[in-house]
Each structure stands twice: as structure tokens, then as C-alpha cells.
Amino acid sequence: MSKANIIQLSEFDITQKIIESLSNVCTRSVLFSVKNESKDATQIAGELKISISTVYKTLSTLEELALAEVDRFVISPEGKKSKLYRSRIGKVEITLDDLEPVLNLYPNTSNPKSNP
């Protein structure tokens, strides 16, 4: 079964997917680890002490939900190409209004210091 793309989802579905995603401590940790500084998956995994596969899966989800993006690509001295990720959001507020969730996402206004 293929994943629905964001255009195919209703607004409620997107809001619900974002809220569910952000309810996971690992997802929040990955997202906010790249808020002030762009990092590659290896850096994130080392910093948060989680597996690289978990980081890649989490980053994929965050990209699908447009919460994170590839800031730029870097090439290591060994010639390995890596993506540096950054958070697109700086603050999240989730409130309930008559039992319906209201999600407010605020853009990341920090100027990330990308590591070469």
C-alpha cells in the first residue's frame, strides 16, 4: 500500500499526523536537535544516542510532514555525500478547542550554523 501524499490528505489528517508524530519523544528530539544547527543523520544519532536507522526513519517522516528539510549537501574528505537537515519550525503549540485539536506551527527563525 502506497503512502498518501500531503495533497491527498485533508487538513484534519495532516494536523492529526503532525500531532501524533510530535507526541513521540524521539521525533521531537530529532526535530529540535536541528533547530539551531544543521546536522547530518550520523551527528544526530551520536548526539541523541539513538540508532542511525531510527534517525533516518524519523527524518523521512519529518520531511513528509514538511517539519524538516535538507538544508544543504556536504561532501566529506573521503568523498561521501551527506545531507544536512534543519528544522522548519521553531515552536509548536497544540491546544484543544471544543475537543478539536488546534495546531500552531511557528517558523524556525534561527539562522542555522551548518557544519561542513
- In the chain, what are the domain boundaries? 10-107
pLDDT given at position 111: 63
User: What is the per-residue pLDDT for 115?
Assistant: 46
- What CATH fold (topology level) applies to the domain 10-107? Arc Repressor Mutant, subunit A (1.10.10)
Do the Cβ atoms of 112 and 86 come closer than 8 Å?
yes
Per-residue pLDDT tens listing for the chain (116 residues): 455 554 454 555 788 899 999 999 999 999 999 999 999 999 999 999 999 999 999 999 999 999 999 999 988 888 889 999 999 999 999 998 887 888 999 999 886 554 44
CA-to-CA separations, 94 to 5, 10, 65, in angstroms, rounded: 23, 18, 16
pLDDT number for residue 79:
87
